[in-house]
Amino acid sequence: MEGLIIGYDGKRAVANNTGLGNYSRYVIDTLSIGFPRNTYRLYSPTLRENPRLEPLLMRANVELSGPSSAFGRRFGSLWRSVGITRQLNADDISLYHGLSNELPLNIARAAFPSVVTIHDLIYRRVPEDYKPVDRAMYDYKYRRAAENATRVIAISRKTRDDLVEDYQIDPAKIDIIYQGCDPRFGLSVVFEEKERVRAAYRLPKRYFISVGTVQSRKNQMLAVKALERLDLPLVIVGNRKSDYAAEVAAYITSHGLTDKVLWLDNVPFADLPALYAMAEFSSYTSRYEGFGIPVIESLSTGTPVIAATGSCLEEAGGPGAVYVDPDDVDGFVENARRMSGDRIFHDKYAEKGRHYVKRFSADEFARLTMACYRKAIIEKII
């Protein structure tokens, strides 16, 4: 199938610089290159500049559209939830893809097929991280999107299993498509770039790193507690504004660990490959994830990972990571000492990780996503 006009929920691609925004741009990036004869049209309630999106919009087959009516421009959220469907029909699109767990509430009545990507059901697994009203809203929107979509993309086997268990979605309707990471993580970081980044952040000679939003689910506290028994400093890359971040900071201060922690906030995305590459290992001990892109990023740079059991991180890290219970400080310390002190042990995991993450290539992602679209189009006709 070629010459398709594929519509996308573009809100996150325009507004978000991490997480769902990265995924949205990754879809457009990989498909517009892999299948250039189609048109890829992002629909967003607001149109504003985003440096990460601009290079994609320069491609001849990528477009950005806003609401076509005055009502839609004034009530963007309502347009995205309901009004957009009429506009999509008028634009004669071939398929619509909800990139961030949602579809228009009236999508089932549309003339075209739809696909929704469900990233996770974390709000059901870690409810304490969400307000009750938010949990109720996500439950309604995500369930309805999964039920109404022609096909569903789950970003991991764990997310697929959660959809089947929690929402009773037919597993035959779900395609598991793993997301890769930005290709720059797979490139060798030259000496000059490492030295620039080391000087910019005043990095210690040796360290391990934790990258991700600082919140209780992400469980940075495990690595911080392990510091009391390690001779290796920790670099935390993440925000400091949450209540949990304040709790982590208080623990660091009260246990005399200030000199062993370098906390970096608002790090440019372009600096992340060097930060990973210079680390002895990375720590990603989240209690629950939909997939775990920081694991893929780290392994792609050749830096092995200590990750947590209990969700889907084994799918992301495979044999390139070691796994501990998210509350097992002793297990973390033991593996951290081996990663930083036993070069054979370290290099074995680094090599396995580099080999394992090759399966998360952009080409494979694009191929599987387009195959999902084709199935949805055929199923809508039938």
Instruction: Encode pLDDT of 67-78 as tens digits.
Output: 999 989 999 999
Distance CA 67, CA 78 (A): 11
352 and 365 in a common domain: no
Per-position b or e across 259-295, b if 16+ CB within 10 A of its CB? ebbbbbeebeeebbbbbbbbbbbbbbbbbbbbbbbbb
Q: What is the separation of C-alpha 20 from the centre of its chain, rounded to a whole number of angstroms?
A: 6
pTM of the complete model beyond 0.75 = yes
Q: Is pLDDT of 309 > 70?
A: yes
Distance CA 296, CA 285 (A): 14
Q: Is pLDDT of 260 > 70?
A: yes
| Residue 293 belongs to domain spanning | 183-358
Mean pLDDT to the nearest integer, 313-317: 94
Strands 174-176 and 95-98: unpaired
Residues of the chain with pLDDT > 70: what percent? 100
Task: Determine the pLDDT at residue 381.
Answer: 85
**What end-to-end distance do the CA atoms of the chain give, in Å?**
16
Confidence of residue 129 (pLDDT cuts 50, 70, 90): confident
Task: Determine the pLDDT at residue 57.
Answer: 96
List Cα–Cα distances, 232 to 135, 157, 227, in angstroms. Answer: 39, 35, 7
Q: Is pLDDT of 64 > 90?
A: yes
Q: Is pLDDT of 262 > 90?
A: yes
109 and 28 in a common domain: yes
Specify the residue for token string 């469900």: 118
331 and 234 in a common domain: yes
Confidence of residue 48 (pLDDT cuts 50, 70, 90): confident
Task: Determine the pLDDT at residue 277.
Answer: 97
133 and 274 in a common domain: no
- Domain total for the chain? 2
192 and 149 in a common domain: no
Task: Determine the pLDDT at residue 131.
Answer: 92
Task: Name the β-bridge partners of 283.
Answer: 306
Instruction: Encode pLDDT of 269-285 as tens digits.
Output: 999 999 999 999 999 99
Distance CA 49, CA 371 (A): 31
Mean pLDDT of the chain: 95
Can you give the CATH number for the domain in which 192 is found? Answer: 3.40.50.2000
Confidence of residue 310 (pLDDT cuts 50, 70, 90): confident
Instruction: Encode pLDDT of 131-172 as tens digits.
Output: 999 999 999 999 999 999 999 999 999 999 999 999 999 999
Side chain identity, residue 14: V
Q: Which token pair is 352?
A: 């396995």
Q: Is pLDDT of 382 > 90?
A: no
Mean pLDDT to the nearest integer, 90-106: 96
Q: Is pLDDT of 91 > 70?
A: yes
Q: Is pLDDT of 225 > 90?
A: yes
* Cβ atoms 79, 10 nearer than 8 A: no
Burial class from Cβ neighbours inside 10 Å (0-12, 13-18, 19+) for residue 59 reads middle
252 and 239 in a common domain: yes
Task: Determine the pLDDT at residue 346.
Answer: 96
Measuring CA to CA, which residue among 121, 78, 97 is closest to residue 6? 97
Distance CA 5, CA 64 (A): 13
Mean pLDDT to the nearest integer, 168-196: 95
* Cβ atoms 269, 206 nearer than 8 A: no
Mean pLDDT to the nearest integer, 31-41: 97
208 and 141 in a common domain: no
166 and 47 in a common domain: yes
206 and 219 in a common domain: yes
352 and 231 in a common domain: yes
Task: Determine the pLDDT at residue 1.
Answer: 65
Task: Determine the pLDDT at residue 311.
Answer: 84
306 and 216 in a common domain: yes
Task: Determine the pLDDT at residue 19.
Answer: 85
Q: Is pLDDT of 345 > 90?
A: yes
Mean pLDDT to the nearest integer, 367-381: 96
245 and 162 in a common domain: no
Mean pLDDT to the nearest integer, 39-59: 94
